[in-house]
Amino acid sequence: MKQKINPAYRSIGVNFNSAGEAEVLLWSPAAKTVELKIEGKDRIRLKKTEYGYWELTTKKLNPGDSYQFILDGEKELPDSASLSQPDGVHGVSQALNLKNFSWTDNAWQNLPLNDYIFYELHTGTFTPEGTFAAIEKKLDHLVELGVTAIELMPVAQFPGERNWGYDGVFPYAVQNSYGGADGLRHLVNACHNKGLAVVLDVVYNHMGPEGNYFNEYGPYFTEKYNTPWGNAINFDDAWCDAVRQYFIENVLMWFRDFHIDALRLDAVHAIKDLSTKHILQEIKEQVDVLIAASGRQHYLIVELDLNDHKFINPLAKQGYGMDAQWIDEFHHALRVTAGEERTGYYSDFNGIEHLAKSYKGAYVYDGVYSPHRLKTFGAKVEHNPGEQFIVFSQNHDHVGNRMLGERTSKLVSFEMQKLMAAAVMVSPYLPMLFMGEEWSESNPFLYFVSHTDKDLVEAVRKGRKEEFKAFHAEGEAPDPQAEDTFNRSKLQWPLSHKGHHQVMFNYYKALIALRKSHPALYQLNRENLEVEAQPKNNTLLLHRWHGNEDVYCLMNFSKSVQQLQLPNGDKEWRLLLDSAAPAWNGPAKVANLPNNESAVTLQPESIIIYTSNHV
């Protein structure tokens, strides 16, 4: 049985009440004794209560104090629910009072989900300094660009100072080298004051290997299921109640105490749970209670590789109630259309026909046979609105999981980069950018770690080599452990104001402004959409409409000049964007169409967007 969850405060770990006392709650069902060791002060015994919990209320532990737990008189361990690890994953924990922060974002109201334009970034490589404070200095750039939400890759404490964040082992503690809990809250506060929402990437499907002390406390993992990272987190086996509460309270903490607007839950298909009530469903129920109590809106977004709309269907329709999901299949179809070799997970995608299918139906594999998976896969999406799907032309996974971490800027031409960006922005879904793509960043985004265990470092190296077999990559992968690998992945901010990089930035600004200003584009109605692909010419015509406005997006993914037909009739065409225009360093400019003319000439690797109004 779980402790009763109160949306108003965190119950597990170390927390401070209104009287200034430390209230300590630890779960360790097999322990015979538990002591709190306060560095330089006392050792105090905890009292055992029901269901494996241990409790203590004391005035001897104060905010800022370092502490550990001692199990059975000998095991000295950091707190599994630590809020701060100032000396890293193997060091002592530090007590924090989450109520001690001066927020100035009281006027902030979370954006409607359909207004989200995501900007994914990695704190360590987004700026030279690699801190939350340094991100704050770049917020004006993001506001000028036009994005509406920053999405932070995971910030839970990980080993060392170099990591993507998916090796976190203290889900409640904010990475010390980034600026810790106060640094993150200061960033969120600054974002809200500039009109930006904040999304945080969290990992509830596994824990990292180094600094993982969970098994010392209790059965946080189960042998019932195996995942790519080992035994699954225990969401449905014996003693799972406390584990479920641990992660539910983590969600509530980010929303309540850090004012995070949305969470992106990593790879929820790897969460193993056959309970009557799935852990995601229970998380959604508790978040709804928090929303009702606080009056603040929050969203739950999932990375999902199952093409199963049950995850995003509302609770009332027996779904898990997640608000939105990433759509990798749109990305895969787009990249193959743009010339990506059909190897590895791209082998399932034929290019432009699948891109057209994703524009209309979100999922490409929607109950049809998948040659890559060797089985029938997925289900059709019929009633889920466009705002429940997030699309992109690149993200941390699909850049960083290339052997050399090449961004799109290194894989395709300048013209194709513009076309791919527009293909995302005109979709009936929520668009996401990956940091630096808005100025055609040339540095790679590589996979990097800073483990201290030599055997683990070697295992990571071998694992990376194995991962690239499906892509038949040649050469040696950069060493994930090397500091140079991390430094090469940092953005080059001076580029954003130079030459074609500045042109690309201005192009992205124009694209985002276009999406925001035309109802046919920003209204995410999947029903008001028609799409026609011409595989022979590698061209696509996307037609979207709202009210009396029609928008036609003509895309040429081929390397040759092509023609596309617009509908005949008495229409007054207006040119909204031509990616081949000289303003965008393109090879040509297309004039506005006269009435009743239907043939449009498209330059290679370009998009032209027209609008017309009808009565």
Catalytic residues: 266, 303
SS3 call for 362 = coil
Nearest to 493, CA basis, from 95, 150, 134: 134
**260-297 b/e (C-beta count within 10 Å ≥ 16 → b):** bbbbbbbbbebbbbeeeebbbbbbbebbeebbeeeeeb
If we measure between CA atoms, which residue out of 116, 268, 208 comes closest to residue 452? 208
* Length of the chain measured in residues: 615
> Do residues 580 and 590 make contact, with C-beta atoms less than 8 angstroms apart?
yes
Within a 10 A sphere around the Cβ of 442, how many other Cβ atoms? 13
Distance between CA 467 and CA 344 in Å, rounded? 10
Comparing CA positions, the residue from 300, 258, 296 lying closest to residue 278 is 300
Beta strands in 243-355 (DSSP E): 262-265, 299-302, 324-326
Alpha carbon distance 415, 393 (integer Å): 14
The answer to whether the beta carbons of residues 61 and 25 sit under 8 Å apart is no
Q: Tokens in use for 186?
A: 């200061």
Return d(Cα 553, Cα 87) in angstroms, integer.
53
In contact, 197 and 174? CB cutoff 8 Å: no
CA dihedral 326, 328, 331, 333 (to 10 degrees): -140
Close Cβ partners of 563 (under 8 Å, ≥ 6 residues apart): 599, 600, 601, 602
Task: Kindly give the pairing relationship between strand 529-534 and strand 539-546.
Answer: antiparallel
Amino acid 592 reads N
Write down the residue that tokens 């895969």 correspond to.
332
Contact between 166 and 215 (Cβ < 8 Å): no
